């Protein structure tokens, strides 16, 4: 009974919890539905409002105040991007276009403030400008509604209500319509020219209202972009002198539009570029490199780069007028486009020898190197191209190397292939400079400057020096010690730089004075031949291995090994013995060793190579030992390099030890992640030193000439 009551209480509790849960879920759902309903209601209200305003605009010209209020309301709605689509779908564009020209005669409105008409036109122009800025499709709808002709007429309305704020605003907004409908639309740009839109815009550059001037410059900037016919007409109408004057305005927005317009006129137009320079633009543009407006700085740097094009003779004049210092400062900008354009301009200026030295002396090399770390392809490429130009001047080489430039170029953090190609050419250009006075200067610095610089020079010269100068740089001037110190006392990154430099140094040195990769058969006085291997014919000694007999010939053994010579010509007991027991060597290994002694050649399998190496070392058969080392070296990998090096060390296998050394230098990055590697690298540094010293001091064999 008690149990049943407990179950009933539990059931009632569960039911109450379920009701609460359902109640909460119902409340949440109701809240969502309410929000959706509210949004739908707002959209419905907006739709009704738009249609009502459009209806007023389309109803006729009798009620001036109603039309004015509707246009003002549409203008306010157009300022919210989300409203524009609904407005366009409900016929706002043609309704607005019809009011770009006042339908009421000013003569019949003598008792009405003239600003009334201007405000209506202004509101319509504002709305159309905002709508055109949303998407290209709306630009075409505005043009199709016939907006260009009345807009051009508005641009010409400078004699009406001169000084009236509303009248000036209408003209400014008309220029804004031109700007927004022509943006990235070649066909509309052409239509504007055909309908006579360019002459009034040029004339408005001299309008008393600076806002109108700015809007006109902005419109000319847009219609001139990538449209040669428009460019030519603007220049023919003598717009350049006024635009150049506007460059000197203290208003950033004013000189920003002016320099943008000039930049578009100059782009891909060499003749116009000359006209711009003749109009006196050079010094004002250089001055704008120090503008507080980032966009103006960007446009100014772009123009400087265009003025300094390869076919231009004013690169030196640009530098003399003070462009280099602000351009270098702009490399440190927080804006990537400013950095990109300043690097572009410096790259163009760096095609002149004197400018190369000037940019280097003002700290441009370090700033350009820093741009290589910016993860934007165009910034990297412009910086790389500028550095390529600077590398052509011998006066910059030391600064390039002192700044760690070689390592920065070799880091290969580049996002596009053309930049990599440019960097390769830069490194080759630097390499070609490392001789004569440049090399002497670097050697002097490597002896006298602080250690960080000494190490950077050693790292760079390992990659750039002529192989014949290796001993002078790295032995006589201690360069190898700087590289080795980096290898075990610095950060992982510096260690990688050092290992790469040592590997490149070894590669160059061995190509200059090569050593044999795979050993040839040894020179030996006696080879009895294959038929005498384990042949009792004329045999004068028998070896016992693993209970088996091996028939041999002392004359062959004595000629092949000092150990066998001592055994059979010396005072050892084996001298007169007929049977000699050989311990600690398997039959298979001994048979291969004998076959090598008799023939001078064998095929060494990988699984026997190490045992055969031990035997060759024991019996001092150097030719066989080198063959074993070569075979074993083919199997060196990250996992077994410590074992391989210990094997080489134990049996004094110099070729194998050097193969291990080269492997470590070549694969340092992979090896550095292994736990055991820090101790291992310290262990083999003496061998690295011996190896590098040996190959750098090895005499060069003169190449034979075939006559």
Average pLDDT on 435-454 reads 96
pLDDT at 155 over 80: yes
Question: Residue for token digits 């820093």?
Answer: 370
What is the per-residue pLDDT for 5?
Answer: 43
Rounded-to-integer distance, Cα 193 and Cα 106, Å = 29
Q: What is the mean pLDDT of residues 27-39?
A: 55
Q: Could you report the per-residue pLDDT of 656-693, keeping only the tens digit for each?
A: 999 999 999 999 999 999 999 999 999 999 999 999 99
DSSP letter (8 states) at residue 256: H
pLDDT, residue 161, reads 53
How high is the pLDDT of residue 296? 94
User: Cα–Cα distance between 245 and 258 in angstroms, integer?
Assistant: 9
> What is the reported pLDDT for 162?
54
Out of 67-76, 162-171, 230-239, least confident range: 162-171
Q: Is the pLDDT of residue 625 over 50?
A: yes
The answer to whether the beta carbons of residues 172 and 211 sit under 8 Å apart is yes
Q: What percent of the chain has pLDDT over 90?
A: 67
129 touches 173 (CB < 8 A): yes
Q: Using the predicted structure, report yes or no on whether residue 518 has a pLDDT greater than 60.
A: no
- Residue 704 has a pLDDT of 44
pLDDT single digits (tens) 410-425: 998 899 999 999 999 9
Rounded to a whole number of angstroms, the distance between the first and last alpha carbons of the chain is: 122
- Residue 113: its pLDDT value, please? 46
Residue 515's contacts (CB-CB under 8 Å, 6 or more residues apart) are 695, 698
- pLDDT category of residue 261 using cuts at 50, 70 and 90: very high
Q: pLDDT of 96-112, one tens digit each?
A: 999 887 665 444 444 44
In percent, the amount of the chain with pLDDT more than 70 equals 86
pLDDT over 50 at 203, yes or no: yes
Distance CA 154, CA 176 (A): 11
So what's the pLDDT on residue 250?
87
Please say if the pLDDT value at position 19 is more than 80.
no
pLDDT at 397 > cutoff 70: yes
Residue of 637, 685, 694 whose CA lies nearest to 505: 694
Domain annotation for the chain: domains and CATH numbers: 59-102+113-280 (1.25.10.10), 283-427 (1.25.10.10), 429-512 (no CATH), 530-697 (3.30.710.10)
Banded pLDDT at 435 (limits 50, 70, 90): very high
On whether the CB atoms of residues 374 and 336 are closer than 8 A, the answer is yes
Task: Determine the average pLDDT of the residues in 436-446.
Answer: 96
Can you name the residues that pair with 581 across neighbouring β-strands? 544
Residue 36 pLDDT level (bands cut at 50, 70, 90):
low
Contact 282, 317 (CB under 8 A): yes
pLDDT of res. 11:
46
Instruction: Write down the pLDDT at residue 109.
Output: 43
Q: Angle formed by the axes of helices 336-349 and 377-390, to 10°?
A: 30
In this predicted structure, what is the pLDDT of residue 525?
54
In this structure, the chain runs to a length of 707
Position 160 scores a pLDDT of 53
Lowest mean pLDDT, pick from 97-106, 362-371, 576-585, 593-602: 97-106
pLDDT, mean of residues 299-323:
91
> What three-state secondary structure class fits 39?
helix
Q: How many helices (H) and strands (E) does the chain have?
A: 40, 3
- Identify which has the larger pLDDT, 99 or 23: 99
Q: How confident is the model at residue 455 (pLDDT cuts 50, 70, 90)?
A: very high
pLDDT at 703: 45
390 Cβ contact list (under 8 Å, min separation 6): 350, 356, 359, 360, 364, 365, 368, 396, 400
Q: Is the pLDDT of residue 256 over 60?
A: yes
CB 286 within 8 A of CB 304: yes
Q: 454 — phi, psi (to 5°)?
A: -60, -40
pLDDT confidence tier of residue 402, bands split at 50, 70 and 90: very high
Rounded to two decimals, the pTM is 0.81
Question: Which residues are within 8 A (CB) of 237 and not within 5 positions of it... i.e. 6 or more apart?
Answer: 198, 199, 202
> What does DSSP say about strands 579-581 and 541-545: parallel, antiparallel, or unpaired?
parallel
User: Which stretches of 289-323 are DSSP H helices?
Assistant: 294-307, 315-320
**Quick one: pLDDT at residue 187?**
95
Residue 581 phi, psi dihedral angles, 5° rounding? -85, 135
Sign of the four-CA dihedral 563, 569, 572, 577: positive
Helix, strand, coil percentages (3-state) for the chain, rounded to 5, are 70, 0, 30
More confident residue, 13 or 257: 257
> For 327-386, where are the E strands, in sequence order?
none
pLDDT at 523 over 60: no
Alpha carbon separation from 300 to 303, 395, 490 (Å, rounded): 5, 29, 43
**pLDDT of amino acid 568:** 79
Q: What is the C-alpha to C-alpha distance for residues 462 and 483, in angstroms, rounded to an integer?
A: 9
Q: Any idea which of 112-116, 215-219, 277-281 has the lowest mean pLDDT?
A: 112-116
Question: Average pLDDT, stretch 122-150?
Answer: 93
- Contact at 8 Å (CB) between 560 and 597? yes
Position 578 confidence tier, pLDDT thresholds 50, 70, 90: confident
Neighbours of 281 (CB within 10 A): 23
- Per residue in 39-80, pLDDT (tens digit) is 566 788 888 998 999 999 888 666 788 888 999 999 999 999
Query: What per-residue confidence (pLDDT) applies to 573?
Result: 62
pLDDT of residue 560: 86
Label residue 561 by pLDDT band (50, 70, 90).
confident
| Residue with more model confidence, 385 or 579 | 385
Contacts of 590 by beta carbon, 8 Å cutoff, 6+ apart: 543, 545, 550, 582, 615
Q: Mean pLDDT over all residues of the chain?
A: 87
- Distance, CA of 347 to CA of 573 (rounded, Å): 83
Question: Is residue 230 pLDDT above 90, yes or no?
Answer: yes
């Amino acid at each position: 009974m008690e149990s049943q009551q407990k179950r009933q209480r539990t059931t009632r509790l569960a039911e109450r919890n379920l009701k609460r849960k359902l109640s909460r879920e119902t409340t949440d759902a109701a809240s969502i539905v309410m929000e959706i309903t509210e949004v739908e209601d707002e959209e419905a209200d907006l739709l009704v409002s738009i249609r009502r305003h459009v209806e007023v605009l389309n109803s006729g010209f009798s009620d001036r105040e109603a039309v004015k209020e509707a246009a003002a309301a549409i203008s306010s709605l157009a300022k919210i991007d989300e409203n524009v689509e609904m407005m366009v779908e409900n016929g706002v564009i043609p309704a607005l276009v019809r009011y770009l020209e006042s339908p009421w005669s000013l003569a019949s409105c003598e008792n009405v403030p003239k600003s009334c008409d201007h405000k209506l036109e202004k509101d319509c122009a504002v709305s159309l400008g905002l709508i055109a800025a949303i998407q290209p499709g709306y630009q075409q709808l505005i043009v199709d509604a016939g907006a260009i002709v009345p807009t051009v007429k508005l641009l010409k309305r400078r004699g009406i209500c001169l000084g009236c704020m509303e009248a000036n605003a209408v003209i400014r907004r008309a220029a804004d319509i031109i700007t927004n409908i022509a943006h990235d639309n070649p066909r509309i740009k052409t239509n504007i020219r055909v309908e006579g839109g360019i002459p009034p815009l040029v004339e408005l550059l001299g309008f008393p209202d600076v806002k109108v001037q700015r809007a006109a410059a902005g419109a000319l900037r847009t219609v001139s972009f990538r449209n040669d016919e428009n460019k030519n007409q603007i220049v023919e109408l003598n717009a350049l002198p006024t635009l150049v004057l506007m460059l000197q305005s203290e208003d950033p927005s004013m000189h920003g539009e002016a320099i943008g317009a000039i930049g578009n006129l100059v782009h891909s137009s060499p003749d116009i570029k000359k006209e711009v320079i003749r109009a006196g633009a050079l010094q004002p543009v250089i001055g704008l490199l120090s503008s507080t407006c980032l966009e103006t700085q960007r446009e100014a740097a772009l123009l400087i780069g265009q003025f300094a094009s390869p076919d231009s003779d004013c690169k030196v004049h640009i530098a003399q007028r003070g462009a280099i210092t602000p351009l270098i400062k702009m490399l440190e900008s927080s804006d990537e486009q400013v950095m990109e354009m300043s690097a572009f301009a410096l790259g163009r200026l760096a095609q002149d020898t004197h400018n190369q030295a000037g940019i280097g002396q003002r700290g441009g090399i370090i700033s350009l190197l820093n741009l290589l770390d910016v993860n934007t392809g165009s910034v990297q490429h412009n910086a790389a191209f500028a550095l390529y130009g600077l590398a052509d001047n011998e006066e910059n080489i030391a600064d390039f190397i002192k700044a760690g430039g070689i390592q920065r170029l070799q880091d290969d953090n580049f996002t596009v292939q053309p930049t990599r190609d440019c960097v390769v050419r830069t490194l080759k250009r630097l390499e070609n400079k490392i001789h004569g006075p440049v090399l002497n200067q670097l050697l002097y610095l490597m002896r006298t400057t602080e250690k960080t610089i000494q190490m950077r020079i050693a790292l760079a010269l390992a990659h750039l020096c002529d192989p014949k100068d290796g001993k002078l740089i790295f032995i006589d001037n201690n360069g190898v010690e700087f590289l080795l110190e980096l290898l075990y006392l610095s950060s992982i990154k510096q260690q990688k730089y050092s290992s790469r430099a040592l590997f490149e140094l070894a590669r160059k040195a061995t190509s200059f004075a090569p050593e044999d990769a795979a050993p040839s058969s040894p020179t030996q006085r006696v080879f009895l031949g294959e038929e005498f291997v384990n042949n009792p014919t004329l045999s004068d000694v028998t070896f016992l291995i693993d209970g088996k007999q091996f028939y041999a010939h002392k004359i062959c053994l004595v000629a092949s090994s000092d150990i066998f010579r001592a055994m059979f010509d010396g005072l050892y007991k084996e001298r007169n013995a007929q049977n000699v027991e050989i311990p600690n060597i398997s039959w298979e290994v001994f048979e291969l060793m004998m076959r090598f002694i008799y023939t001078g050649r064998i095929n060494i399998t990988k699984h026997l190579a190490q045992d055969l190496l031990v035997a060759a070392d024991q019996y001092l058969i150097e030719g066989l030992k080198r063959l074993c080392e070569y075979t074993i070296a083919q199997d060196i990998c990250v996992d077994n390099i410590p074992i391989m090096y210990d094997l080489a060390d134990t049996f004094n296998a110099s070729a194998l030890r050097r193969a291990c050394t080269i492997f470590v230098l070549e694969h340092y990055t992979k090896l550095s992640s292994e736990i055991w590697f820090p101790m291992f690298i310290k262990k083999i540094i003496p061998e690295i030193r011996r190896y590098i010293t040996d190959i750098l001091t090895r005499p060069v064999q003169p190449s034979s000439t075939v006559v």
